Homo-oligomer: A and B are copies of this chain.
C-alpha cells in the first residue's frame, strides 16, 4: 500500500492489465457484449492510468448498475442514421457511450481519409469517459481530431447561477513525430472531481470556481460536491469564472460550442434536458481533418513537434516547473503506472469489491508490494 503525497487516503496498486480485465469482466457480467465491455474497460482504465481518476473505474458502478437496471440499453446497437458524404449521424440507441463514440471515431477517420474532412455526431448516447482517448485514436490514424460531448448540467453560463451546461470538454489531438499531442479538459474552470479531491485534502476552494444556491461564490468543497450531485442549486463556473473581467463569457462560449454541436446539430438534447425519463440522452461529436489531404503528413508532424519543442523550451516562470505541452504530464504518469501499477483509492477498491459481489465475479487482484 502507498500513501500518495497529494491524497490523504491509502491507495493500493493494481496492474493496469488486471484492472482492465476485471472492469471488462464486470461489464460483461452486467450484460454488455464482449467488444463493448472491452472498449469501455480500456477507456475507463486509460483515465486511471493518465491520472484522471474522476473518469476511471471509480465510475464503474454507474455503468454496471445502469446496464443491470436498464438505464443503459445493453441490447442497443449504435446505428448510422444519416450518411451524407463526409457527415454522419449515429443513434446510439441508449447503449454504452464508449463503443458508440469509438464507432463514430472510426467512421470519421474513414470518411476524412476519403474526403479530407469529416464530422460524425452521436445522439441518444451515454457517458463516454475521457474524450482524449478517442481523439488520440483518430490522431494515431493521421488526423487532427476534435471531440466533445455534452453532460449532466452542472455549469452556469456567465450571468446566471442555474446549471445549464455540462462540463463539455475542449479536446483535440494531432500526431507528432513522437506520438500524439492531445489536450482534454473541461470547459468549466474546475471539474467536480477536483472539488472531491480538495474535500479529501481539506483544502479551500477559490472564488470563481462555483456558485451556491444564493448565487454567491461556493467555498465549501463538501457542500458544493453534494449540492452538485443532488442538484441543490449549486453550479460550477465556466473557464474564466462568473464575470466578464476574467473572461467568463469566453468560457461560457466554449461550453456553448459543445452544447450546439452535441445538441441541436446532432439531433440530440442539450445538457439541460439530458438525464430525463431514465435515459441519459447525451450527444457527442467527432470532427476529423486528414493530414494527408493538407499536404505532406510527415512535414506536418515534424512542424507540430518543432512547435512543441519550442514551447517546452521557453523560459519557465518557476525554474522548478518546466513549460509543458498538452499531454506531457499524462504521458509521464501513464508510463509510470504502466510500469508500477495503478494506485487505486481504498474506497474505490472497496466499491470494486462490491461490484464483483453484485455481478458475481472474482474481486480484482491488488498488488501487495509498496510503491
Contact = CB atoms under 8 A, between A and B. Distances in A.
A129 interface: no
A246 B189 contact: yes
Contact of A215 (B119, B251, B259, B317): B317
Interface string A291-319: 10111000110011011001100111110
Interface stretch (A13-21, A155-163, A343-351): A155-163
Contacts of A126: none
A267 B253 contact: no
A22 interface: no
A122 to B, nearest CB: 12
Contacts of A245: 206
Interface stretch (A4-12, A30-38, A78-86, A363-371): A78-86
A319 to B, nearest CB: 10
A341 to B, nearest CB: 26
A264 to B, nearest CB: 3
Contacts of A63: none
Given A264-B303, A289-B119, A311 B87 contact: no
Contact of A116 (B119, B241, B260): B119
A51 interface: no
Interface in A273-300: 287, 289-291, 293-295, 299-300
Contacts of A239: 239-240, 247, 250-251
Interface stretch (A96-104, A320-328, A332-340): A320-328
Interface in A169-205: 170, 172, 174, 181, 183, 185-187, 189-190
Nearest to A264: B303
Nearest to A252: B326
Interface residues of A, number: 87
A50 interface: no
Contacts of A265: 144, 174, 289, 291, 294, 300, 303-304
A324 to B, nearest CB: 6
Contact of A256 (B160, B206, B254, B326): B326
A18 to B, nearest CB: 32
A205 to B, nearest CB: 10
Contact of A87 (B84, B290, B300): B290
Contacts of A157: 311, 314, 323
Contacts of A254: 170, 254
Nearest to A163: B314
Contacts of A321: 159
A118 interface: yes
A355 interface: no
Contacts of A293: 82, 84-87
A163 to B, nearest CB: 10
Given A170-B254, A174-B260, 12 more contacts: A86-B117, A87-B294, A89-B295, A117-B118, A119-B289, A160-B311, A249-B324, A256-B325, A264-B304, A265-B289, A266-B294, A287-B287
9 contacts: A87-B117, A87-B293, A121-B294, A144-B265, A160-B314, A189-B240, A189-B247, A190-B247, A265-B300
- Please name the 6 residue pairs, one residue from A and one from B, whose CB atoms are nearest each other, closest first: A264-B303, A87-B116, A87-B293, A159-B323, A183-B253, A160-B314
